[in-house]
Every structure is written in C-alpha cells, then in structure tokens.
Structure 1
Amino acid sequence: MSTYYPIVYTLRSVKEHQLREGVSLRSFRPARDALCLITEGRGTARIGSNEFVLKPGMCLRVRPGETVSLMPAGKQAKLFYIHGAAVMLDLGDPEAAVAASGLPLMECGSVMLPAKAAAEAAALLKQLIPLVISNEHTDRHRSQSLFHELLHMLALYAEAGKLPADDAVLRTMKWMDRSYNNPVSLNMLPALAGLTPSSYCRAFKRVTGMTPGAYLTKVRLTEAKRLLTDRGRTLKEVARSVGFQDELYFSRTFKKREGISPSEYRRKGSRRIAIVSQLFLQDHMLALGVQPIAAPSFPSLFPGQGVPGYLRPMLNQTIPLNVERRIRYSELSALSPDIVIKTSFRHDPFDQDWREQSNTVVLDGVTKWTGYLEAFATLLGKEAEAEQIIRNIDAQQQAARDALKGLIPAGKWTVIRALADEVRLYTGRSHAMTDLLFQDLGLEMHAVDDAEPYISHGLAKLAELDPERILILWSDAGSLGRLKANPLWQSLRAVAEGQVYAPDSREWDPWGPLGRAHTIRECVNYFSRI
C-alpha cells in the first residue's frame, strides 16, 4: 500500500507595499517561496527570466533565489507580499518527519483572480497582517487558517483555467452546491470556470439544460423545501438560510417554480415518512425537497452519521437507522410515522411483520434508480420535479461521457470489488454502477457470461478473462493489500501493464440522483487527474 505524505503549509510573513509612479521596488532575491498579489494599479514585473504585465487580481509565485523587480505604470500600485513554506511529512518515519521541503505554495507561475475574489483575498490579507506578528496562540492558529483559505482560493482559480469547458462547469456547479446560502454573484462564475461569459453560459446550458441562475435557484429551493419541514423555522429564517435576503422575493420565486407558496408547501409536506432499506433511498426524498424523519445509515462504513458526506448536511433532523442489523417495526412506532418506505432485507425474519403494517409501502423489484425516484414522486405528488431531475442527470451524464472520451484509455474494462474474504466480479447486468459506467458514461465492457449482477469469489473467473483494464471500487486498504499479494492477481495482464485503477470510491453511489451526480463528478475528476 502506498504511503500517504501530507503537505503542511506555514505562513511566515505578510506585508503590504505601495509603489509610486516611476519608483520601482528595489530588486531582491527571496530566500524562500513567496506570493505577490497585486490589488491596485498596473505595471510590469520581472521574476527571473519571465516578464509579467501587472493588473489588479494577479497573483505571482516567486521562487527562492529568483531576482524580482516591480515597476508601476500609473500613479501608484498596491500589492501584498506573502512569505510562506510548504513541507511534506513522512508519517511512516517519525524520526525523519520531513520527507521533502521547499515545495511550492502555488503550482503555477501566476493566477488571475476576478474582481470579487481579488477583493476577498485583499480583505483576508489585511486580517492576516496583525495576526502573523502576534504572540497569542489563538492568533497564530487563526493566521494559519486564513492562509490556507487564501491558498485554496488561488488553487481553485488556477485549476479552473486548466479544465475543459464541461469540467469547468461541473466545478462551478459544485461550488454553487456548497455556497448557495451566501450571496452569490453569477458574474464571477465564468471567471471561476476560466471561460468567457458567453462560452460559460453555452457550456452550462449544454451540461445541465438550464442557465446558471436557474441552477442556483434550483439548489436553493431544494434546500428550502427541506428546511420547510422544520416547523420551528419561520419563513424569513428559511429564506435567509438559503441565500435570499428578501422573504417576499423568496416566496414569489418559490411559488413561480413550485406552483404553490412556501406556506402551502409546508402544510402539504408535513407527512412523517421513514425509510428502512439497505439503499440510501433518502437520496430520492431529499432531491425532491422532503426530509425523512428516519433513514438508513451504515456506521461502520461512514463514521458519525453513517451516511456519505454529500447527504450529511441535509439530514440534520433525520434519525439514523443502523441497517447493518435487522430492524423491527416496533423500533419506529415511537416516531409515529405516517408512511414507512421499506425494501426487503435478505433473510430478514421481521419482513412479514413489516408487510402487515397498513402504513408500510414495500418497494421491491425496482432495478433502476429512476424507478425509485418515480415511486417517491408519485407518493409525494412531485412527478414534475422528478421529470426535471431525470433531465438534469441525463444532461450531466452526457457531458461527463463527452469529457471522458479524451481521458479514459481505450480498451475493455472489468469492474471488481475486493472484500475481506472474496473478490466480486461485476457482470454489467442489473446494477446501478455498471449501468452508469458502461451504458451512460461510455466505458467499453469486457463481457462476462453470467446472469447475476456480480460473481462472488470471482478471482478465478477474473484470471480466466484476463482483462485489459480493471477498475476497483468500494475496496478498503486491507482488502486491497491482500488482493495484491495473491499470485493469481499478480499474473493478470492489467496488473503487469499498470492498467489497474482504484479511485477513492467510498462515496460513489449511483442509486439516487444526488449520489449519481456526485459519482459522475468524482469519476470525471479522478480520470482527469491520472
């Protein structure tokens, strides 16, 4: 198993400089890595053998030993000069501790921040100046936190400039998914994507089927519908929690999109629904804007709430049900659910008891994620919302399929999962993940002659197939280590040729729309990096 080497970034100093017209900053050679952020004015800079035209929002990386000279072109120029250090730690060798030092604070030579981001960076650096010279422990911790925030901002915009258009759109969608509760300027999104406004809007419409503004509104209203199930929140609190500063505007927007007012939605959506399943079916309810009172969790797989990270923020008011064991109906009776959505558990002695309850709806025999979504939509009276969700996912799948054409090596693929006591070989039949990979995202499948979704104890069959490429999913480090030590595994062509791919897929779950969108994004991100 490969060793993990974390990189630690440390801030040394921050200074603000003001340069007058015709007066250059005296040439110097820094002893350590540094960053120079221009906040006002224009001019030129020479760093080593490279020349730069300076303008507000530009951040330059200065390497140790490079000669630096700056000359303003107007009345004056303002800039921040930041000294820092980055070291890579070797956790496997506590005596040595440092595996590498002198690493760059920023991978590229320059990053151009849009106006709003540049203003945010400047405000952040002004906060840093008194903190970095303070002797208080709390100030030191705060200064390091703000420094990492600055580095994250620079890395975000640096990466955006390198991405293909569709990938860049997915990045801005992810950013809106996280930042919807803050005032969001749609004008900054093209810069975040590294595209012109017109190119960005065209790419966004192609990927999602909607405008950036419509997508942001959808994200906000989806969260608003979840919050409306909490009767302890006023409409004003709900509006502000999802980024609307005006309650009246929030209500008008909600009614225009949903067909009913927030108050009416709250009355209609007051049914108490619990889910008992070994699938994260709460994904479908949350996508439709309804929060269940209780839902499945797998605490051994996802410590804490027992659910993937992309679902966690939306389930704060939901009771987690540990479905790694069998659950009796009596365990839910105290919650007084109006409806219980149930799927059968294998060899569950309590299944018959569940079926006899008048408020239980059993969803068995569903083979597609869309089937579950449509069932929930019918139950909740949200058929129109489900149709839009399916269209949005279709658009994301097509965009990802186009992006992956230039990223994935040609050849036939086989998907496996390494467990403690077996290797599962997926056949490409009736399974949400293989449907997504082979039908929707365009990977070419190595045919496996079996009617089941996967073959248990499939290592011998895998050796018989000897595929060109292997994708390993949902496998922990211990199981992977045991698999790699197996001589049969070592004899495989894909292993010998280095065509084995093992992304961190713990949260890849295409059985629901939120998980499917997350899986699509992470799949594209993984193949973009290799």
Structure 2
Amino acid sequence: MEIGSMNLYKSRKMRCAYMEMPQRIDYRLLSPYVRYVHEVEIAPGSLASERHIYDYEFIFVVSGEGRLRLGDRWHEMKSGDLFYIRPHLANEMIVTGERPMDCFAVHFDYVYLGEGHEFSPYSVYLGQGGEENKGRLQERPSVELSELDIPEAMAVGDVRGFYEAFRRLNDGFRLGGTGARLTTKAALIGLLALLSEELMTREGIRIGHPHADTVLDAIRYMESRYAERIDAALLAGRAGFTPKYFGTLFKQATGTTVSAYLLRLRMDHAKRLLAQRRLTVEEVGACVGIPDIYYFSKQFKKAEGMSPSRYASSIGWPSA
C-alpha cells in the first residue's frame, strides 16, 4: 500500500473509531438542543428507505405496527414502543398491518455542539432546501449521558407519561420564540427523567441487571458507613468476588466506579452538613471520611464547582 493510501486508510479508521466512541457527560452538563420534532402518520405498506442520521433520535409509536432496522438488527414496532437511534447508524422502517402508523420523532443533541457542527434537519432529513456537506456531518462528535444507558428498543411501562412528554415536545417545537424553545428543552429533560425511572432504581442500578441485588447490598453498605475506609476490595470480599470482577460488575450495573460512587455519597452528605453551618470545613471532611482538608476541598470543588466554604455561605439550612 502506498504512503498516501495508507494515510487515507488510517484517517478513515481513526474517524470511524472517533464516531463510535461518544464523549460521556454527567447530568450537570446536560443542556439538550432539540433540532426537530414532529408527529407523523405513515400509510400501511410504506417503506422508508435506508437513511443515516447525524444526531440522536427518539421514535415513539402511538399506534400501528411496523419493523425498524438499526444497523443489522430488526425490531418489531407497536404501540408504546420507544426506539433510540444513535448518530451515524443506518436505519430503515416498514409499516406493516392494515392501519397507518402514528408516531413521534425527536432529533436532538445532549448539548449544543456549536455553529460549526450545526445543520438543517429540513435539508438533511426531509430533502427540502439546499444540500448539506455530508462529509462534514459524518465527522460530527457524539455526546451522551454517562448516567443513562438507553437501549435502542424498549417497551415503556408508563405509556401515558411518555405520550404526554412527546406531546409537550411536539407542541413546544411548533411554537416560536425563546419561551417555546425553553419549554421544548425542559420537555426533553422531562423525557430523559422518565427514561431514568424506567431503566434505573433510586440508587442508580440498572433494572434487570443480573447482579442488581449484590450491587444494591454494596451501595447500602456504603450509605451506612461512608465515613469509614471503604474500597472495591472490601466490598468484593463481602460479596465473595475478586476485586477486579466486582469492580467490573459494579460499573456495568451503575455506569460508574466504586470510588466515584462513594465520593458522590460523601459529597452529598458534606453538602447537607455544610448547609447547616455548624461545623468547620475540616470537621465536615472528617465526618464524611475525608479528614485531609486540602484533599476534601479539592474534591468538593471539583464536584460542585465551588469551595466548601463558599457553598456553606451561599446556602442556609431551613430552620425547623
């Protein structure tokens, strides 16, 4: 292979790897940008030819039946089903049965990626207006939530709640003005909250995970003894697993590591103590298991965006 061809091959390979590895952000950085929303009725027997999308898409089936291909996987579509399509994934849809299919579709990004990565959904997805530079769109970065692992197909439990969330999205998108755009953004956050309730327990464990009970026991242990010395080896020993295996299944079940989960617990308790303004910063750190005031302050600022002392002065615990 010639040097020029080899460099081109490497460039394409790196670009594909880049597209397949989305950046993960936590909920504090979530600021969704809703690009397009519509409710559509598709006639029986209709075939939507293969397409590629460049942002994220939710499809929620209100009525009717069909089949959806995502990559090389086919999914049956029926009322109450939710589909999640990630960027750069080939997909096509067929409406089966004798009735039309009524569904909502929402195109969005978890954060606004900037003018350089913006595009018109009307020209790209609906074939209206000018042509877009497809090469540029193929290199758009992907950003997803770290706390939420959304399956590409699921039957939702709260059908009414999801229908109302999509209805709010659709109604807000059809209106103009800043207020409507903010309403649409809030509606998408509400939809993600509904998804979280469907997929995760209060403790942040993925519902249906085969080791959910083991992970829940570890979390309850951390919640009751967060001020003590706790690590993955200790929790693994309690569960009868090796530290490496336990760490793997814990991250699979929660989306985060043992140390990160424990730190989040400690910071939550620290915020409650700081808000009461009865203890010094050093005393609060010791109470949550981080006696080194410098390390505690560093971790608190990293988690909350401000120092412990500033947090304490900015909020007061309501009197009884």
Q: Which has the higher helix share?
A: 2
Greater RCO between the two (CA within 8 Å, min separation 6)? 2
User: Computing the radius of gyration over CA atoms, which structure comes out larger, 1 or 2?
Assistant: 1
TM-score (norm 2): 0.48
